[in-house]
Amino acid sequence: MARRHRALGMATGVIVIVAVAVLGARVWSRLFPARLEKARAAYELRDWSTAAALARETLREQPGSIEALRLLARTQGRMGRDEMAQELFGRLGDQAMQTEDLLLLGSGLVRQDRAEPAIAVLEKARTLDPSHAETLHELARLYAWLNR
């Protein structure tokens, strides 16, 4: 009988510890947003350097984070660091590319006077989202520059 009560007490204790840990993790994450969430917020505020620094820190802790890699690539593209952005977008892979990624990759190619690859990338972005304003603007500028 005593063994049964001891086992029941231990099981209850484990359940309480797990519940406190889960609850604590949820409360902690709400009080202190994850670094990647802070990086996204900085990006939305156009604070490219802060977003890049936070994305790098996230990648050091979570090397496989696709979202941190995407955010770092985007910040590099926004800051005109085209070679670095192209390398990072290459690591991201074609299948994971979103409209904004393609826009920034294409814009970098335009800055490098690589019109034909830029057209291909920007047209792919337009296919993904036909109403993406930045993509349409960049394509219109490029076609005007090429007299097309």
Closest listed residue to residue 102, CA positions, set 84, 124, 85, 119: 124
Number of Cβ atoms within 10 Å of the Cβ of 96: 13
Amino acid of residue 102: L
Report the alpha-carbon distance of residue 58 to residue 37 in Å, rounded. 10
CB 137 within 8 A of CB 103: no
CB 106 within 8 A of CB 125: yes
Res 17: pLDDT: 75
Q: Which residue has the tokens 């202190």?
A: 32
Structure tokens at 62: 């979570």
| Mean pLDDT, contiguous 10-residue spans, the chain (148 residues) | 61 64 52 80 98 97 95 98 98 96 98 97 98 98 93
Report the alpha-carbon distance of residue 70 to residue 74 in Å, rounded. 6
For the chain, the distance separating the N- and C-terminal CA atoms, rounded to the nearest angstrom, is 88
Contacts of residue 116, Cβ cutoff 8 Å, sequence gap at least 6? none
How many helical (H) and strand (E) elements, i.e. helices and strands, does the chain have?
8, 0
Q: Would you put residue 147 in left (φ > 0), alpha (ψ -120 to 50) or beta?
A: left
Res 29: pLDDT: 44
